Amino acid sequence: MSAPIVLGIETSCDETAVGIVRGRSLLANVIASSVEEHARFGGVVPEIASRAHLEAMQPTIKQALKDANISLSDIDSVAVTAGPGLVGALLVGVGAATGLALGLDKPIFAVNHLAAHISVDALTHTETLTPTIALLVSGGHSSLLQVDDITGSITKLGATMDDAAGEAFDKIARVMRLGFPGGPAIDALAKTGDAESISFPRALTTSNDWQTRPFDFSFSGLKTAVARYLEATTDYAKANVAASFQEAIVDVLLLKSLAACKASGIDSLLIAGGVAANSRLRAVAEARCVKAGVRLRIPAPGLCTDNGAMVAALGSLMVSAGCAASPIAFDADSSLPVTTISVQD
């Protein structure tokens, strides 16, 4: 019997994304981004995102089916992001996926956006993922998780107490007038800068923090420190600021992640989410994991940002694991906890 074909829909923020997988093989991954419509505002505007999803949904599904060289009748299951995310944006994807599932008379899996980011690993690795420590870093989330079973058991170890890493990138890029989104712009500029030229703070890394909040993050203080440096300094190199700021984020993310590996006795680290595409994070993670004897897994850059392939991948893994499908009527949840991998009755 051939592996099931799963169509996944992702609309948690500003990307209308549809992915199709057969088992652990990627057949299509189409993304229609509305980022240019948000750029002049310096961030995502929920109403604009929702309207863009409505306009892009049908052509994105059609293109994914064309790329996969299949028809709707070939789909065995539908998966969709139910949360967390912008509620208006989520509702567009949930409505489209529910309509497809009803029309095709196929099961639907309403899945967690964060768990889906982890699941995209299945499209590039054939060996079992679990157990692993997962670092999820994006514009809205910075979390450390222990994944014992991607379809059934995720434990939250820590999370950001204020700004997410990607959010900090966007805000500093705005201050430096580098455009939106800020992560890729700072990453590119930092390549020509000196990461040791400016000493920016590493929050929650004092001895007391390691005792009380070992796996939590905080980036608002770093953001403020960079902004104040820019205000107080007239003669500075933008590339040095970008490199030093980026290094502070990368350093803390990996300090906490490898500490979680050591504390749990788990020798595997998976880094996912949009910030996982950052070239400096990938390079430093590889070097530090080798030194610590930890196996590192990071998706290809194109699969790090929000995409439909990751949603389809999680749906496929749930089908293979024999997990129950979601009810045909379920609510989008903007604050769905990562420990809720899929919406059940």
User: Amino acid letter at 8?
Assistant: G
pLDDT given for residue 171 in this prediction: 93
pLDDT given for residue 1 in this prediction: 54
pLDDT given for residue 290 in this prediction: 98
H helices within 265-306, ranges in order? 279-292
pTM equals 0.93
Grouping H, G, I as helix, E, B as strand and the rest as coil, residue 159 is strand
Q: Which residues of the chain have pLDDT under 50?
A: none
Instruction: Go through the domains of the chain in sequence order and give each one's CATH number.
Output: 5-120+304-320 (3.30.420.40), 129-298 (3.30.420.40)
pLDDT given for residue 309 in this prediction: 97
pLDDT one-digit tens code per residue, 197-237: 999 999 999 999 999 999 999 999 999 999 999 999 988 99
Q: Which residues contact 84 (CB under 8 A, 6 or more apart)?
A: 12, 112, 113, 114, 140, 141, 333, 334, 335, 336
pLDDT given for residue 39 in this prediction: 67
Compute the residue count for the chain.
Answer: 345
pLDDT given for residue 43 in this prediction: 67
Grouping H, G, I as helix, E, B as strand and the rest as coil, residue 138 is coil
